[in-house]
Structure 1
Amino acid sequence: MRNFQIFLVIFFCLTQTAQAGDKSVGETLGDDATEYYKDMKRIFSSPARFSTTQWLVLGSALGATASAYLVEEDVRAFAQENHTPFLDALMPVGDYYGRMVSSTALSSVIYLGGLTFDDRETRLTGRAAIEAVTFSLAITGVMKVLFGRSRPYTEHGHAQFNWLETQEQFLSFPSGHSTAAFALSSALSVRIDRPWATAGLYSLAAITLLNRMYDDKHWLSDTVMGAAIGTAIGIAVGKMVNKEAEQTGDEKVSGAPLEVPIVSVSF
């Protein structure tokens, strides 16, 4: 609640004097809310338009998750037996980066910065990050409750699925931290489109993935599936926003539809 209150204070302070081109802040926010809704519909309806290649990629992701399932008891043992002072200092970075409040706050700061300083590209980058995180975590959240998988620290074993659970210790699959981290990194990587940014962003996401096993919060397959969901949604949203950014003002006024193939929404 405190974080939400701080966000509201920052939001209202920044938007008191902000203008976005020829539009008021309210009009810009309304336009972005409309685009957010359109992107959400494209993302969640995209499986109905998957090509054969996309289904094969999805199958490959599921296969990778299944393969991880077969070895994750050994991976857990290895992770727990190899704690070092260096890793103890590094792993919290991944924990922080993958938290929902952290990814949402960073995305919001980017968005509000673009809104405040009338920088359309920055504002769209922030919106892409917000969309990637919220859309992917919505999918992960539903799957967590549906599968009800026991977390490693409960010592119930990796094969314990309770189904339709809401208790924290039974919300292991998929990893929410991995989902958020890879969604944020993927969306920002597509928008920034620089090798150094891509390397840095995915390195942070990888640390998050490792952190979840290092802290005994998730199994390997949890993190693999979370990373797949976050990456797929992040890349797809980034490409959609890139397409929107390429449109000219005249095209928007004419009402030309935004045609974006959701080819990236595949695992």
Structure 2
Amino acid sequence: MINNKYLLLLTMIMSIYLYAAPGVAFCSAGTSSSDSQSYFATIWSDIKDDGVLTLHNFKDLVRVPSKLTTPDIVAATVITGTFLLSFTQDNSIRNFALSRRSDNVDRFLRYGFTYGNKWPAVAIGGGLYVLGLGVQNDWLHETGRETLTALVMAGLFTGTMKYVIGRARPFKNIGNSKVTWFTLDDDYQSFPSGHATTAFTVSTVLASRINNPFASVCLYGLAFLTAAQRFNVDKHWFSDVIMGATIGTLTARFVVKDSDAFLKQKGSKVTLIPEFSYDAAAIRLCINY
């Protein structure tokens, strides 16, 4: 049986999405046999195009080190400095969080744990992708594709770092600098936070694609809830969460930006989107150029 928290969070995400996202519409009509064949041929063509774009994203990711600019190096320096600063605050923030922990706080932050779980994240990305293909909405299914792509990329970064570095979790009570290199022991996979990575990946993709202040506040609010939950339950150091959030945010922004550039390079594309309200009907003409 599906956890009620999962259902609640997925409903919240879809509500935010449908409220704030531009041009999302659903319609149905009778189809002939030839129409059905054309419909499935279009879906298959879209899937192949998505495969090409996803491969392009990964190729460009590999090329990133060779394309670093001075602003990129400055940004990397700032990120490194922020992490080192957060490292010095690990113990004090841990003590602060544990001293104020209560059942009510745990219940509230539990939703952050659910949002940062990989399966709801995959459900959000996969659901948007399949739904977009089904209703032939390019914008919708591209959002799902970017979410899934960013999740895989960020997951590879985080998973590799967890395995290689092997940082002890706070509840081991052996300090924030104890590491066991190349280990699969979960007690020594604190750095970086996987839940924070996932939460900020999903929130960044959706916020970038929706481009609506209300949606951004809600989505990043959920991501920060995830971050707070991780050190509240003593599973992660503050610096683990900072690095996880950074990986998720930067990876998601890369995927969105890289995909936008690729799609614009393909040339202009005209899309007709039907829209309905309680007292009117219209068709939106969308031209990408």
With normalisation by structure 1, the TM-score equals 0.83
2-structure distance, mates of 1:163, 1:201: 35
1:136 aligns to what? Answer: 154
- Percent identity of the aligned residues? 29
- Contact 1:98–1:180 (8 Å) recurs in 2: yes
2:56 aligns to what? Answer: 38
Specify the code of the residue in structure 2 equivalent to 1:53. Answer: P
Spell out the pairing of 1:117-132 with structure 2 (5 A cutoff). Answer: 117-132=135-150
Give the superposition deviation at 1:89: 1.9
2:22 aligns to what? Answer: none
- Contact 1:147–1:164 (8 Å) recurs in 2: yes
2-structure distance, mates of 1:250, 1:51: 29
Spell out the pairing of 1:18-37 with structure 2 (5 A cutoff). Answer: 23-37=41-55
2-structure distance, mates of 1:177, 1:22: 36
Give the superposition deviation at 1:246: 4.2
2-structure distance, mates of 1:48, 1:184: 27
Give the superposition deviation at 1:236: 1.5
Cα gap change, 1:18 to 1:67, in 2 (>3 Å):
farther
Q: Among residues 210, 229, 237, which one is paired with 2:255 in the alignment? A: 237
- Contact 2:53–2:262 (8 Å) recurs in 1: no
Give the superposition deviation at 1:244: 4.2
In our comparison, the structure showing a higher alpha carbon Rg is 2
1:48 aligns to what? Answer: 66
Q: Among residues 112, 127, 130, which one is paired with 1:112 in the alignment? A: 130
Deviation per CA, 1:51-75, whole angstroms, max 9, x where unpaired?
0111111111111111111111111
Q: Among residues 221, 225, 228, which one is paired with 1:203 in the alignment? A: 221
- Contact 1:148–1:162 (8 Å) recurs in 2: yes
| Runs of 5+ unmatched residues, structure 1 | 3-16, 252-267
- Contact 2:53–2:259 (8 Å) recurs in 1: no
What secondary structure sits across from 2:89 in the alignment?
Answer: helix
Q: Among residues 169, 191, 213, which one is paired with 2:187 in the alignment? A: 169
Is residue 2:212 matched to residue 1:194? yes
Q: Among residues 148, 160, 163, which one is paired with 2:166 in the alignment? A: 148
1:160 aligns to what? Answer: 178
2-structure distance, mates of 1:18, 1:85: 54
2-structure distance, mates of 1:165, 1:85: 33
How many residues are aligned here? 236
1:77 aligns to what? Answer: 95
What secondary structure sits across from 1:157 in the alignment?
Answer: coil
Give the superposition deviation at 1:18: 8.1
Deviation per CA, 1:218-241, whole angstroms, max 9, x where unpaired?
001100011111100111212223
Give the superposition deviation at 1:22: 8.6
80-89 or 28-37: bigger deviation? 80-89
With normalisation by structure 2, the TM-score equals 0.77
- Contact 1:182–1:231 (8 Å) recurs in 2: yes
- Contact 1:124–1:245 (8 Å) recurs in 2: no
24-33 or 63-72: bigger deviation? 24-33
Specify the code of the residue in structure 1 equivalent to 2:114. Answer: Y
What secondary structure sits across from 1:24 in the alignment?
Answer: helix
Specify the code of the residue in structure 2 equivalent to 1:215. Answer: V
User: For the aligned residues, what is the CA RMSD?
Assistant: 2.1
Q: Which has the higher strand share?
A: 2
- Contact 1:19–1:116 (8 Å) recurs in 2: no
Is residue 2:234 matched to residue 1:216? yes
1:10 aligns to what? Answer: none
2-structure distance, mates of 1:89, 1:33: 40
2:118 aligns to what? Answer: 100
2-structure distance, mates of 1:72, 1:87: 20
